Amino acid sequence: MNTTKFLDAKGLACPMPIVRTKKAMKELEVGDILEIHATDKGSVADLTAWAASGNHKVVDQQQESDVFKFWIQKG
């Protein structure tokens, strides 16, 4: 998948993955994809809900070991 920007949020506790995601999204154009890697288990629900509330789309979501990976398209 072609990502426009990568955000490493590993090791950050809530609410920092969301705070960093919001900041990174502001730098993107509509249709761009932000790839996020996080280790906070709460980020699964938080990032999914945040994307929906901001009219963004979670294109893909995966878990590798203790890392949660998200690909969110800016809406």
pLDDT of the chain, 75 residues: tens digit per residue: 789 999 999 999 989 999 999 999 999 999 999 999 999 999 999 999 999 999 999 999 999 999 999 999 999
> What's the distance, Cα to Cα, between the start and end of the chain in Å?
17
Which pLDDT belongs to residue 1?
Answer: 76
- Which residues carry out catalysis? 14
Hey, what are 75's tokens? Answer: 């809406």
| Range 47-53 contact pairs with CB under 8 angstroms and sequence separation of 24 or more | 47/17, 47/18, 47/21, 47/72, 50/18, 50/21, 50/22
**17: preceding bond cis by omega (within 30 degrees):** no
- Round to whole Å and give the CA distance between 11 and 57: 24
Which pLDDT belongs to residue 45?
Answer: 94
Say what the pTM is: 0.93
